[in-house]
Amino acid sequence: MPKGVGVSAGVGVGPVRKMAAPITEPDPNGQLNGDASAEKARVAAATKAVSEDLQARADKASSLGRDEAAEVLEAQIMMASDPGLVDAAAAKMGEGLSAERAIYESFGTFRDMLAAAGGYMAGRVADLDDIRDRVIAVLTGQPVPGIPESDEPFVLVAEDLAPADTAGIDADIVTAIVTVQGGPTSHTAILARTMGIPAVVAMEGATDVETGTTVLVDGSSGEVTLSPAEEQIERAKAVAAKRAAAAKAATGPGATKDGERISVLANIGGPADVADAQDNGAEGVGLYRTEFLFLDRNDKPGFDEQVRAYQEVADAFPNQKVVVRTLDAGADKPLPFVNNDDEPNPALGVRGLRLAFNHDDVLDEQLRALAQVQSDSHADLWVMAPMVADLNDTKYFHDKATTAGLNTAGIMIEVPSAAITSAHLAKAADFFSIGTNDLTQYAYAADRQIGALARYQSPWQPGVLHLIAQAAQGASVEDKVCGVCGEAAADPVLACVLVGLGVTSLSMSAPAIPMVKAALAGHTLEQCRNAADVALGGATAEDAKEAALAHLPELRELGL
């Protein structure tokens, strides 16, 4: 099979099980069966049932600490609960269409509107399709699309996974995930890493593999082997055991083999993620996403509510760094009380820090809440702004933060212009944190949610590595800290290269922490610098990684 994109490390083996067959399109000539008002009530009951099922999945995801999955599901619930959908279907039934056909056509109208909007909204088309299919399944008595049931562990293969599906995965049964669509920063990739399930995305032809075929999945290399020989499986398991042993042995603070200290921190989405971060040896928090407080509501959270949420995390890391990102809404996270729904391209629009230019009251209150936590906790609280593009942005945020009483205010480097002009920005910011997900997206003009563009989205792309090097160099000139909080930091090989480029801290999904610590502990700073030098000379992402591995023998031996 062609190679896919490995997005969640580990090895999984088992028989292929595919997602349930998609719901078939209802008969275009299907006629209304019964009274229109009764059928409208049946449609309303079906959408309610779907909303309740999604809510149950969201609650389960929250109870398991999968906050990101829960947030995505909550957005789906809002879609499914929109009374406009039922009213639109009722109008179609008034024209004589069957209930299921009316739903199909009504969702189609909304689908076309989302697709035409582009950006974030276009990315939600798959979510809307998933809701449509669930409602039609309820109306027609078909099996609801979802994860196949099995008494034995299996490898899940799908065209793509809807948020409701991903959130419902049982990590004890699903040994690996392989999808045709998706990219390194898709919902599937991020949630698979969070759950510790090996995953490969952008795998052409994956769904052509027959159900029941045994496959071997390497979530690091992106290789999927059909009908592997027993010795291949044993060899892969032995390598995986070596990786696990190395990760288990990596205790204590993050550092290179020769003692260069590198802070290894956790990315979290709220208080529910704290325990996982601590269990995996996080030395603090490198990215506290605060959007969970703002999403799926019609008005901003109050001062006291914010203080409580920030305080809970700060109190969990006394005398350790807790880096809080101020509200990063817009694009894939719109908020009704601040975003402009009419933007033709939200990813390039008013998002991140730019929201404050028209709604500075939201930022000011968040900074005041954080200042309160700073004074009441023993954590080393830092704050940073997302989507900073130039020196004016940097000064604006730093002035706001210091006026609120905060001690350490930095910026995220996500826009190429910020990396290129980092030497100027470092004079006005207290620190940098590189968000490689968006930096890669903007550097290569490749939407991170589009699987067909997966090859552009690799943080190993030489253009991205050069931007990271520029940002780290700009910070060092002013003796400022430069960390990485994007998913790139979770790649053990790339983590060593990032250190070699001059990055001084790494923040990642909690399950990735032990292996990254092991990677650093197995190599000297000089080895990391040599790996970085040759990676910068690579012509392609594949060349860059292969060249780097030549200087990182411990990781090459582990097949990473």
Write down the mean pLDDT value for the chain: 88
What does the pLDDT read at residue 185?
63
Q: Which residues are catalytic?
A: 187, 485
CATH for 218? 3.50.30.10
Q: Say yes or no to pLDDT of 76 above 60.
A: yes
d(CA 343, CA 406): 33
Structural domains of the chain, count: 3
Q: Examine the domain organization and report whether 129 and 188 are in the same domain.
A: no
d(CA 198, CA 157): 12
What does the pLDDT read at residue 64?
66
Report the alpha-carbon angle 132-134-137, nearest 5. Answer: 110
Q: Which domain holds residue 214?
A: 5-19+146-232
Q: How many CB atoms lie within 10 A of CB 30?
A: 15
**Of 115-119, 130-134, 265-269, 304-308, the least confident:** 115-119
CATH for 404? 3.20.20.60
Q: For 402-445, what is each residue's pLDDT tens digit?
A: 999 999 999 999 999 999 999 999 999 999 999 998 999 999 99
* Residue 239 domain flag: no
* Residue 28 domain flag: no
What is the sign of the dihedral through the CA atoms of 315, 317, 318 and 320? negative
Q: Examine the domain organization and report whether 172 and 300 are in the same domain.
A: no
What does the pLDDT read at residue 519?
95
Q: Say yes or no to pLDDT of 9 above 90.
A: no
What does the pLDDT read at residue 397?
98
**Chain center to CA of 559:** 25
Last residue of a domain, one of 140, 165, 188: 140
φ/ψ of 243, rounded to 5, equals: -60, -45
Q: For 306-363, what is each residue's pLDDT tens digit?
A: 999 999 999 999 999 999 999 988 655 566 666 666 677 777 888 899 989 988 999 9
If one compares 124 and 527, the residue with the highest pLDDT of the two is 527
Q: Say yes or no to pLDDT of 230 above 70.
A: yes
d(CA 277, CA 513): 9
pLDDT over 90, % of the chain: 51
- Strand 174-179 relative to strand 199-201: parallel, antiparallel, unpaired? parallel
Q: For 191-207, what is each residue's pLDDT tens digit?
A: 787 788 999 988 888 99
What does the pLDDT read at residue 122?
57
Burial class (CB in 10 A: 0-12, 13-18, 19+), 508: buried
* Residue 389 domain flag: yes
262, two tokens: 């590198």
Q: Say yes or no to pLDDT of 276 above 80.
A: yes
Could you tell me which residues are beta bridge partners of residue 3?
Answer: none
Q: Say yes or no to pLDDT of 104 above 80.
A: yes
* Residue 304 domain flag: yes
Last residue of a domain, one of 232, 263, 294: 232
